[in-house]
Amino acid sequence: MHIKVNDTVAVISGGDKGKRGKVLAINREAGKITVVGVGLVWKHVKASRNAQGGRLSKEMPIAISNVLLLDPRDNTPTRTGVRYAADGTKELYAKTSGTTMRVLAKPNPKYAKKA
């Protein structure tokens, strides 16, 4: 799983299919993420001495398998992969365009291509 907080993702299945948003939180044990504006539900809050009651809208977690990261080149949803660059750095890349999305590990001479 290569999704991090503040990544922009697109929802590919479910009731919110087609929506895009920023990742707020990740629950790796449950395999779920919370995205801004996706999976909205109403929470009914009783009025108390400190706060006014009413219906609050809040985001609920959705499965990580229902989202894809966006390709940095053309801003479309894409699958991702991991590869080693020529200098041995491990990087996350977009499978559709082949562009690098982020560096995952420092250069390791063991994985560097020999000239």
Q: Phi and psi of 44, rounded to 5°? A: -90, 120
Indicate the pTM of the whole model. Answer: 0.83
The pLDDT of residue 113 is 87
Output the furthest CA–CA distance in the chain (Å, rounded): 72
Distance CA 53, CA 37 (A): 22
Residue 115 has pLDDT above 80, yes or no: no
Q: Which fold has domain 1-70?
A: SH3 type barrels. (2.30.30)
Mean pLDDT of 53-73: 95
Mean pLDDT of 11-30: 96
The pLDDT of residue 13 is 95
Distance CA 60, CA 58 (A): 7
The pLDDT of residue 50 is 87
Residue 30 has pLDDT above 70, yes or no: yes
The pLDDT of residue 51 is 86
CATH 2.30.30.30 in the chain: give the residue spans: 1-70
